[in-house]
Structure 1
């Protein structure tokens, strides 16, 4: 298990620790912030891909369908 220094009290703790057992610092390595940022970027990419697919494939098919009626 990899150990690192707590940024507040400088005690050796696990990198996966949710709180520091020495000083009680919640999320000493900001792992929750990193995972939230990664999730936000993932959602932005999915929305961008969906918008691109709609604009290039679905919208032209809808326009062609309306003109054929």
Structure 2
């Protein structure tokens, strides 16, 4: 198990620790913050991609369908 130093108290702790057992610092390596930012970026990309696909493919089909009625 890889060990690293806590940025607050500089004790050796596991890199997978959710809190430092020495000083109690929650998320000492900011892993949750990075994951949340990456998750947000991926969700925004998925929504923008979905809107683009609807604009390019779905909207013209709806317009053609409306003209046929």
Cα-to-partner distance string for 1:18-59 (whole Å, 9 max, x where unaligned): 010111111101111111111101100110110011000000
SS at match of 2:35: helix
TM-score (norm 1): 0.95
Q: CA–CA distance in 2 between the matches of 1:3 and 1:59?
A: 54
TM-score (norm 2): 0.95
Q: CA deviation at 1:67?
A: 0.8
Count of equivalent residues: 69
Runs of 4+ in 1 over 3 A off after TM superposition: none
1:47 aligns with 2:47: yes
**C-alpha root-mean-square deviation of aligned residues, in Å?**
0.7
Unmatched segments (≥5 aa) in structure 1: none
